[in-house]
Amino acid sequence: MAKDYYGILGVPSHATGEEIKAAFRRRALELHPDRSGLERGPFQEVQEAYDVLSDPERRRKYDRQRKARKQRPTARRAPRKSRAEPLIPRRARPEPFAAPTGGSRRPPRPVRALCPRCGGGGEILGHICPWCDGRGEIIVLLG
Ligand SMILES: [Zn+2]
């Protein structure tokens, strides 16, 4: 029921029954498949529009629905505030390193070490060592 029957017939929404009939005849002649060579679709739409608008009861019903559609507010509601947790929960934020039982602990420090895989050569059997990427050394964290 989303079709604009008045638009299909080309009449104003306050058109009288006579005007609607006249408009239908005009449009039907224009769009009749035998004459226009068009598909049946447009002609059927005109017929459908006329069927509804020429029947006072159906036209009243259609007008009501049409009016209701127009009055429906189009503005969308503001999006609801997201209740999702922030991406980083408070507790997971990095905290200063501290031992649980008092006293302070130093953060682990990165130390370079000879690559245990290639023994510092940077390659294994002629291939670049995948552990150290050929550097011959790796970074280890000493805590
Ligand atoms: Zn290596």
State the amino acid at position 67 in one-letter form: K
Side-chain-side CA neighbours of residue 35 (13 Å): 9
> For 48-95, what is each residue's pLDDT tens digit?
999 999 999 999 999 999 888 777 665 555 555 556 555 555 555 555
Of 120, 111, 3, the C-alpha closest to 53 is 3
Using the mean position of ligand 1's atoms as its centre, give its distance from the Cα of residue 27 in Å: 84
Q: What pTM, to 2 d.p., does this model score?
A: 0.47
Q: Are residues 9 and 58 in the same domain?
A: yes
pLDDT at 125 over 80: yes
Any idea what the CATH number is for the domain that residue 42 is in?
A: 1.10.287.110
pLDDT at 75: 55
Range of the domain at 34: 5-71
Query: Domain for residue 29, yes or no?
Result: yes
Instruction: Calculate how far, in angstroms, residue 122's C-alpha sits from the geometric centre of ligand 1.
Output: 5
Type and span of the H or E element at 138: strand 137-142
Please write the tens of the pLDDT for every residue from 15-55. Answer: 999 999 999 999 998 888 777 777 778 889 999 999 999 99
Question: Rounded to the nearest whole angstrom, what is the distance from the C-alpha of residue 107 to the centroid of ligand 1?
Answer: 26
